[in-house]
């Protein structure tokens, strides 16, 4: 019995080489006390009231380093597990156990995850926090299939939704699995495994999370913390409020793991992307000569990302544009994130190509340079390859705008301030009537191909009585029906597939008459962002009530990527013009915002156009363009499949890139000079800035940090990107920091920033935990009222924890939780948005006792 050599003689066989055992394996392992975190040990010492942790641990057989003990005590104070008021004034390296500390000592999870659970109870989202804590304590249940990293990333993006949070992705995936089990859809193990395979989730690991979740749920009941029963029907805005509050709890639990992003230089980014839409386009480099000959290969490489709309070739660069659903809001397409992810994963993009000399032999005396460097656009939907006209895009598109003030009718609202419509002036009405008459005069034929998304065809408008046909684009096909978008009016309808007709060639060339509009100089208010995906349900309802059924006047500000940025007006009952943006701002649904660099450039150009300062566009002569088009067709015909010998060699294309991709950097003193790298499994491993014109900082929170072997790079794991609310970074830092010291300007009238951290020790004459101090410069105006509200909220949190300690009833707990939630929302969602200010850097950063 027992191991050989311990209670009796025996033999020990080591399955390694003798030299390896002798030279590399130490004689004795490092004691656990010297290699494991001391936080839980210190908490247990305090719980058992065994004296000062520093003195007691010094008596161990292998005592930890004194500096490690002191640092652990400071970290527990920062966490809130020990009081910052010490037992004796002469010893800052001790403190009394708080209610949070007693809970953490009993939970089998990391200390920050324990704090997440307690804060989840405080803010009324305990269930979600228990799920996150259980999942992060075990192995990640999101699977990455072999050689299918992009698919794994896509599934995680799906579960994260618009939250941009790994933690919320965990909650949504776990609840989706639970819901399927409760519905009886996963009764058989094979069905459950198939569900896991299709959603890139390890079923065995998610079951382990469920077991730990129930274990933690039982443990926290001993501290009067219970999961609140969810109402049977939650209104849409309450769901989004709950998600926002969960994001705040995540920020509080993982303080001070705070990061933000560097600024994106819009002017440079626009130049690099050649004016293409960053929300739909990625860039490639090292395109071989005559790259447009290989457009089908390039298109197939991006098939796993999304539907390619067009590829524009410009020398050694190419711009891949993905199709955007006209009924979706303005946001970065998932296809762009997935494409940039391919570059991050170093997935090779190989093209089988011909040598340029072999191609030039087919040109038969034509100057090769003129065709070699030709700008070419490949329309993947129309399947055309044509030379690009050298002209200003804004001027070319402005043909649809006869004047800077238009009278329009709205046909489809996408979201607040974003809608489709058409001009209702006499000239446009005549054009539409003539087009409709021409369409319905034709002998219409059935579609020659199967209906598919992106196909332009003719369709009847099902809600109209005359059943006339109109030009339409298929959005998606479902069963025997297709959702179509009418390209001349801007509305949509569900049409039976058998009623779709082929569009005659003579009707394809006329430009689409529907116009897409976006209200300028406006963004969602904090209230709209908290209560909705981007805009709240009440904001959407209010906007619809302001514009539906009215003839609107729009004043064109700019034209960006075929979207008109406009001011929208309607006549009131008193026959006065009312600006819709002003109404939304006055009612706290929206706030003023800067226009993007591209919009401002277009505005300057359009001003000249409407003043008749620009008379003509500089276009390529028609004869020259036709000649180049003929040469391109000849080359494509010669080098298409089965026409010539196979391609002779391979070329690696670099990318894809987005010049709007941004990198993060640390907010704490210790991390500000280190590189920050987000773990590649995180949904935020690719961050593309969709509103680079915003002047305020956005907060990124990491659940845990590690460092590379050299200590030069911080690795962020399980990240959450907070909503883009001005001032949110500073508010959350001040709310959850143990101590803060406000900075004021030279006049002493305004707050300019804040220093957050554990504070200053009068005994030691130094900061207590200087490496975790965060120096923030305000980018919005904060007043005394804001600081008072933060203190009131902190007091309310402490009051609830005291009630937990004395085991108050569940009804009392619910009242306190709702009170805290309301105070938090009032702090974030001001009736009048805080003024944006120019940041003023404090001359003595990280210095305490400056007041």
Q: Please state the rounded mean pLDDT for residues 792-811.
A: 85
Residue 648 above 80 pLDDT?
Answer: no
What pLDDT score was predicted for residue 83?
87
What pLDDT score was predicted for residue 611?
57
| 325 plus 471 within the same structural domain | no
What is the helix (H) or strand (E) element at residue 733, kind and residue range?
helix 728-736
Output the pTM of the full model.
Answer: 0.88
Quick check: 167 and 267 in contact, CB under 8 A? no
Judge whether 97 lies within some domain: yes
Q: In CATH, what number is assigned to the domain containing residue 604?
A: 2.40.50.90
C-alpha triplet 734, 738, 739: angle, nearest 5°: 70
Q: In CATH, what number is assigned to the domain containing residue 297?
A: 3.30.70.330
Residue 81 above 50 pLDDT?
Answer: yes
Pairing of strands 563-571, 552-560: antiparallel
What pLDDT score was predicted for residue 468?
85
Tokens of residue 74, six digits? 């400071």
Q: How far apart are the first and last CA of the chain?
A: 70
Residues contacting 452, CB < 8 A, separation 6+: 474, 477
Place of tokens 């949504």: 172
Residue 716: strand, helix, or coil:
strand
Pairing of strands 258-261, 405-415: unpaired
What pLDDT score was predicted for residue 70?
87
Indicate the number of domains in the chain: 5
Check residue 227 and report its DSSP letter: P
| 357 plus 451 within the same structural domain | no
Q: Please give the backbone phi and psi of residue 309, each rounded to the nearest 5 degrees, phi first.
A: -90, -45
pLDDT in tens, 537-572: 999 999 999 988 888 899 999 898 889 999 999 887
Residue 303 above 50 pLDDT?
Answer: yes
Which of 594, 618, 642 lies at the terminal end of a domain, its last residue? Answer: 618
What pLDDT score was predicted for residue 622?
53
Residues 750, 98: Cα–Cα separation, whole Å: 35
Residues 333, 277: Cα–Cα separation, whole Å: 11
Domain of residue 206, residue span: 107-221
Judge whether 824 lies within some domain: no
What pLDDT score was predicted for residue 392?
45
Closest CA to 681 of 120, 166, 97: 166
What pLDDT score was predicted for residue 159?
93
Quick check: 796 and 813 in contact, CB under 8 A? no
Residue 554, strand partner residues: 406, 568
Which of 618, 647, 665 lies at the terminal end of a domain, its last residue? Answer: 618
Judge whether 351 lies within some domain: yes
Judge whether 508 lies within some domain: no
Position with higher pLDDT, 543 vs 711: 543
Residues 637, 745: Cα–Cα separation, whole Å: 70
Residues contacting 137, CB < 8 A, separation 6+: 108, 109, 110, 113, 212
| 289 plus 402 within the same structural domain | no
pLDDT band for position 86 (cuts 50, 70, 90): very low
| Range scoring the smallest mean pLDDT among 90-99, 395-404, 508-517, 633-642 | 395-404
Check residue 723 and report its DSSP letter: P
| 551 plus 435 within the same structural domain | yes
| 520 plus 447 within the same structural domain | no
| 60 plus 134 within the same structural domain | no
| 50 plus 156 within the same structural domain | no
| 609 plus 647 within the same structural domain | no
Judge whether 227 lies within some domain: no
pLDDT band for position 659 (cuts 50, 70, 90): very high
Task: Give exposure, 382-404, as e/b (b: 16+ Cβ within 10 Å).
Answer: eeebbbeeeeebbbebbebbeeb
pLDDT in tens, 330-383: 888 999 999 999 999 888 898 888 887 777 777 665 655 566 667 888 888 778
Judge whether 689 lies within some domain: no
Q: Please state the rounded mean pLDDT for residues 209-224.
A: 92
| Range scoring the smallest mean pLDDT among 225-239, 360-374, 432-446, 742-756 | 360-374
| 416 plus 449 within the same structural domain | no
Place of tokens 């991050």: 344
Residues 314, 334: Cα–Cα separation, whole Å: 25
Q: Kindly state the percentage of the chain with pLDDT values over 90.
A: 37
Residues 728, 834: Cα–Cα separation, whole Å: 11
Tokens of residue 64, six digits? 């930890």
Residues 425, 404: Cα–Cα separation, whole Å: 13
Residues 432, 84: Cα–Cα separation, whole Å: 74
What is the helix (H) or strand (E) element at residue 645, kind and residue range?
none
C-alpha triplet 191, 197, 201: angle, nearest 5°: 105
Judge whether 762 lies within some domain: no
Size (the chain), residues: 851
pLDDT in tens, 15-52: 899 899 888 888 888 888 887 788 888 888 888 888 88
What is the helix (H) or strand (E) element at residue 423, kind and residue range?
strand 418-423
What pLDDT score was predicted for residue 2?
54
Q: Please state the rounded mean pLDDT for residues 711-715.
A: 89
Q: Is 613 exposed, middle or buried (0-12, 13-18, 19+ CB in 10 A)?
A: exposed
Which of 503, 529, 548 lies at the terminal end of a domain, its last residue? Answer: 503
pLDDT in tens, 451-481: 888 888 898 887 666 678 889 888 888 888 8
**Mean pLDDT, rounded, of the chain:** 86
What pLDDT score was predicted for residue 616?
46
pLDDT in tens, 262-301: 888 888 999 999 889 999 999 999 998 888 888 888 999 9
Residue 90 above 60 pLDDT?
Answer: no
Residues 102, 47: Cα–Cα separation, whole Å: 7
Q: Kindly state the percentage of the chain with pLDDT values over 70.
A: 91
What pLDDT score was predicted for residue 397?
54
pLDDT band for position 248 (cuts 50, 70, 90): very high
Residues 776, 420: Cα–Cα separation, whole Å: 42
Position with higher pLDDT, 495 vs 609: 495
Q: Please state the rounded mean pLDDT for residues 62-77.
A: 88
Nearest-10 crossing angle of helices 111-122, 784-805: 100
Task: Give exposure, 239-266, as e/b (b: 16+ Cβ within 10 Å).
Answer: ebbbbbbbbbbbbbbbbbbbbbbeebeb
What pLDDT score was predicted for residue 617?
44
Place of tokens 């460097």: 373
Judge whether 701 lies within some domain: no
Quick check: 255 and 653 in contact, CB under 8 A? no
Strand 281-285: give its sheet, edge to edge. 349-353, 649-657, 281-285, 317-322, 308-314, 376-379, 384-387
Closest CA to 196 of 213, 211, 181, 214: 181
Q: Please state the rounded mean pLDDT for residues 202-227.
A: 91
Tokens of residue 824, six digits? 């938090």
Q: In CATH, what number is assigned to the domain containing residue 471?
A: 2.30.30.140
What pLDDT score was predicted for residue 34?
80
| 464 plus 496 within the same structural domain | yes
| 578 plus 611 within the same structural domain | yes
| 406 plus 526 within the same structural domain | yes
Residue 425 above 60 pLDDT?
Answer: yes
What pLDDT score was predicted for residue 745?
87
């Amino acid at each position: 019995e027992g191991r050989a050599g311990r209670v009796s003689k025996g033999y020990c066989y080591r399955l390694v080489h003798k030299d390896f055992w002798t030279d590399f394996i130490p004689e004795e392992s490092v004691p656990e006390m010297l290699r494991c975190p001391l936080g839980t040990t210190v908490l247990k010492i305090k719980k058992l009231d065994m004296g000062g942790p520093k003195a007691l641990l010094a008596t161990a057989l292998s005592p930890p380093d004194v500096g490690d003990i002191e640092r652990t005590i400071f970290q527990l104070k920062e966490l809130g597990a020990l009081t910052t008021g010490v037992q004796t004034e002469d010893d800052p390296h001790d403190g009394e156990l708080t209610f949070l500390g007693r809970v953490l000592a009993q939970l089998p999870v990391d200390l920050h995850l324990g704090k997440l659970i307690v804060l989840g109870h405080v803010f009324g989202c305990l269930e979600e926090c228990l799920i996150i804590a259980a999942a992060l304590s075990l192995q990640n249940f999101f699977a990455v299939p072999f050689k299918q990293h992009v698919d794994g990333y896509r599934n995680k993006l799906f579960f994260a939704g618009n939250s941009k949070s790994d933690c919320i992705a965990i909650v949504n995936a776990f609840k989706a699995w639970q819901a399927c089990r409760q519905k009886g859809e996963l009764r058989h193990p094979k069905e459950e495994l198939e569900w896991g395979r299709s959603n890139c989730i390890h079923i065995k690991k998610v079951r382990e999370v469920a077991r730990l979740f129930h274990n933690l749920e039982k443990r926290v009941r001993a501290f009067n913390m219970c999961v609140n029963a969810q109402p049977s029907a939650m209104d849409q805005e309450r769901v989004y409020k709950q998600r926002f509050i969960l994001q705040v709890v995540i920020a509080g639990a993982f303080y001070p793991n705070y990061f933000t992003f560097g600024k994106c230089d819009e002017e440079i980014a626009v130049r690099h992307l050649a004016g293409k839409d960053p929300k739909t386009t990625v860039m490639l480099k090292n395109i071989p000569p005559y790259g447009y000959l290989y457009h089908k290969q390039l298109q197939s490489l991006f098939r796993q990302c999304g539907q390619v709309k067009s590829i524009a070739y410009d020398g050694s660069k190419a711009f891949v544009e993905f199709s955007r659903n006209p009924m979706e809001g303005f946001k970065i397409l998932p296809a762009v994130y997935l494409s940039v992810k391919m570059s991050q994963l170093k997935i090779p993009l190989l093209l089988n190509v011909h040598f340029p000399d072999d191609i030039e032999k087919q040109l038969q005396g034509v100057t090769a340079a003129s065709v070699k460097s030709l700008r070419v656009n490949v329309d993947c939907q129309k399947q055309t390859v044509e030379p690009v006209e050298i002209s200003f895009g804004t001027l070319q598109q402005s043909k649809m705008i006869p004047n800077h003030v238009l009278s329009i009718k709205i046909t489809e609202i996408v979201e607040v301030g974003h809608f489709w419509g058409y001009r209702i002036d006499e000239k446009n009405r005549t054009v539409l009537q003539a087009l409709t008459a021409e369409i319905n005069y034709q002998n219409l034929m059935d579609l020659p191909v199967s209906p598919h998304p992106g196909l332009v065809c003719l369709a009847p408008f099902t809600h109209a009585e005359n059943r006339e046909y109109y030009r339409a684009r298929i959005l998606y096909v479902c069963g025997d029906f297709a959702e179509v978008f009418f390209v001349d009016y801007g509305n949509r309808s569900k049409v039976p597939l058998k009623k779709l007709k082929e569009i005659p060639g003579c009707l394809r060339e006329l430009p689409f008459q529907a116009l897409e509009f976006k209200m300028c100089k406006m963004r969602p208010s904090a209230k709209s962002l908290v209560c909705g995906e981007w805009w709240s349900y009440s904001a959407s309802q209010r906007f619809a009530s302001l514009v539906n059924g009215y003839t609107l006047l729009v004043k064109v500000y700019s034209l960006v990527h075929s979207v008109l940025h406009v001011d929208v007006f309607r006549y009131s009952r008193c026959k006065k013009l009312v600006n819709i943006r002003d109404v939304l701002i006055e009612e706290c649904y929206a706030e003023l915002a800067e226009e993007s660099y591209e919009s401002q450039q277009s505005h300057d150009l359009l001003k000249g156009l409407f003043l008749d300062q620009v008379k003509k566009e500089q276009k390529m002569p028609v004869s020259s363009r036709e000649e180049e088009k003929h040469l391109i067709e000849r080359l494509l015909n010669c080098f298409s499949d089965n026409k010539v010998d196979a391609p002779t060699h391979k070329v690696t294309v670099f990318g894809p890139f987005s010049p709007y991709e941004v990198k993060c950097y640390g907010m704490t003193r210790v991390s500000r000079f280190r590189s920050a790298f987000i773990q590649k499994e995180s949904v935020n491993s690719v961050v593309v800035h969709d509103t680079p014109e915003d002047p305020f900082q956005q907060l990124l929170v990491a659940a845990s940090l590690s460092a590379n072997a050299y200590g030069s790079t911080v690795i962020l794991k399980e990240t959450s990107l907070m909503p883009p609310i001005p001032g949110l970074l500073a508010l959350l830092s001040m709310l959850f920091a143990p101590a803060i010291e406000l900075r004021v300007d030279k006049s002493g009238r305004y707050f300019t920033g804040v220093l957050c951290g554990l504070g200053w020790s009068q005994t030691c004459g130094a900061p207590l935990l200087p490496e975790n101090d965060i120096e923030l410069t305000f980018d919005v105006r904060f007043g005394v009222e804001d600081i008072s509200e933060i203190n009131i909220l902190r007091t309310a949190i402490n009051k609830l924890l005291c009630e937990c300690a004395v085991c108050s009833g569940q009804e009392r707990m619910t009242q306190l939780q709702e009170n805290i939630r309301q105070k938090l929302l009032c702090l974030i969602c001001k009736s009048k948005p805080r003024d944006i200010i120019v940041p003023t850097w404090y001359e003595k950063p990280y210095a305490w006792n400056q007041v």
